[in-house]
Amino acid sequence: MPAPPCTVEPLMHQRLPNYYKIWHSNLMTNHQKSLASLLFAVVLTTVTPALWAALPGTDSQGNVLPTLAPMLDKATPAVVNISTRGRVRTEDNPLLQDPFFRRFFGAPDVMPRERATQSLGSGVIIDTAKGYVLTNNHVIAKAEEITVTLRDGRALTAKLVGTDPETDIAVIQIPTKNIVALPIADSEKLRVGDFVVAIGNPFGLGQTVTSGIVSALGRTGLGIEGYENFIQTDASINPGNSGGALVNLRGELVGINTAIYAPGGGNIGIGFAIPTNMARDIMRQLVEFGEVKRGRLGVQMQNLTPDLAKAFNIDKQQGAVISKITRGSAADKAGLEVGDIVTTVNGRSVNDATTIRTTVGLMRVGEKVNMGIIRNGKPRTITITLGEAEKVAAESIAPRLAGATLTPIEEGSPLYRRVEGMVVVNVEPGSPAWNATLRKDDVIISINRQPVRTLDELERTIKASGKRMLLNIRRGNNSLFIVIQ
């Protein structure tokens, strides 16, 4: 008779009970059985909690099966579903948002229309004492009502603690009665190939669990957020998973699921999560300040290419070249110069300009950063105390813009190198700027058709304007003009 076909051996953790049965077969002597029992006891006492979570259970017929259920029983109560409600203004023609143009074109002076918005996503409870829940900024953006549904079916009203659009992290707060939190792991210890599990609320179906491995670490340059340092995984992540948990086999949080690469519109096994170390640092600032007080260097950089390395007569193939330094910035005060080649930041090698931007962008104002550079072919180290992003109260330049606070577009912003202008970071309701329909996150591209990219250009252009200022504004994906008398 022909030999039976080959079979694939099960994983080691699936074979442990079989080993136990073999060791205790009738073919063994009593002495051998004693030694085998001792050896098996040693093995069991050295099994890690992660392996215990994946050890076989039994089905209703008593058959041995591998399972992650014990770990998930502890982890899933800490992952919540989030639903939001809000309202956004709509207008067929963005020009008609301006009262001057409505009068000019004879349009009725009516209140702008609004439409209701809804979103679904996920979140992770990380503090039972305070009721803090981590999620994505895009899950709760523009929300007027936030409802958190726990696995046991309870629906709780949440309040917003703070958001950081540049990393897509948000913190909300819920009542603390009978809630469970996920322990947080050190994401720096993750390795490619580690098993992970994604827990979330895809497509609004309800809590769903998928598994996979860590496919890559430190993914940047994707254009998803201003600051990127993603974990890539092939655990299925779909719409609605945003803000959910990526956990290891110990049931510890290692990432916040955020995005997928889906050129065809569906999941193809390339998902991205924000590492917990990054999310935790952002959360601490949001809890303490309600915002992220992000440190700024005040430089523009570009990647070190082979041609640039040759031109600078250095052997380095990785790093970043400083191409511009803002006058009076932290970099300027520390003595950095245009043409310096940055090779390390706080002792870590620099691969490209994005590495520096992400590292510095996650540090607070006032923190010190040690930067290894090459200048004129010689290495040196410079210590820099990070400064704040330069902001200006618009009323100090133009009383007609009183109530608005402006800042240039800097590295780390999703608009960097895509749009040139001044960002409105805040507008006080009822102020002259508010009454002129200027709003938070508007980008002033030009005034009286003169571009405004820096505070100097803004001040110079406003001083040169007459009684009327024509502002070209970018608002979301629309552009419009605002006339301020």
Q: Residue 13 catalytic?
A: no
Tell me if residue 189 falls in helix, strand or coil: helix
125 close to 183: Cβ distance less than 8 angstroms: no
Two tokens at 137? 């900024």
Query: Hey, which residues does 404 pair with through a beta bridge?
Result: 427
Q: Is 242 a catalytic residue?
A: yes
User: Rounded to an integer, what distance in angstroms lies between the CA atom of residue 358 and that of residue 206?
Assistant: 34
Contacts of the segment 32-39: beta carbons below 8 A, 24+ positions apart:
none
Can you give the pLDDT at residue 1? 46
- Confidence (pLDDT) at 253: 95
CATH of 299-385, one of 3.20.20.70, 2.30.42.10, 2.30.38.10, 3.40.50.2300: 2.30.42.10
Bridging pattern class, strands 368-375 and 341-345? antiparallel
Q: Which fold has domain 392-484?
A: Pdz3 Domain (2.30.42)
- What gap in Å lies between CA 319 and CA 305, rounded to an integer? 8
The catalytic residue among 119, 215, 242, 446 is 242
Q: In the chain, what are the domain boundaries?
A: 12-68, 69-293, 299-385, 392-484
pTM for this entry? 0.66
**Confidence (pLDDT) at 32:** 46
User: Beta-carbon neighbour count of residue 199 at 10 Å?
Assistant: 26
One of 138, 215, 329, 413 is an active-site residue; which one? Answer: 138
pLDDT of res. 206: 82
Which CATH code is given to the segment(s) 69-293?
Answer: 2.40.10.120
pLDDT for 223 equals 67
**Which residues lie below 8 Å from residue 440, measured CB to CB, with a gap of 6+?**
424, 425, 426, 427
State the 10-residue block means of pLDDT for the chain, 485 residues long: 37 30 35 46 43 56 79 91 76 51 50 63 93 92 88 90 89 92 92 93 84 89 75 88 92 91 71 92 89 80 87 84 82 89 87 80 84 90 82 66 78 68 82 83 86 78 77 82 80
- Same CATH topology for 299-385 and 392-484: the answer is yes
- Which of 164, 168, 352, 442 is the catalytic position? 168
CA distance 407 to 418: 16
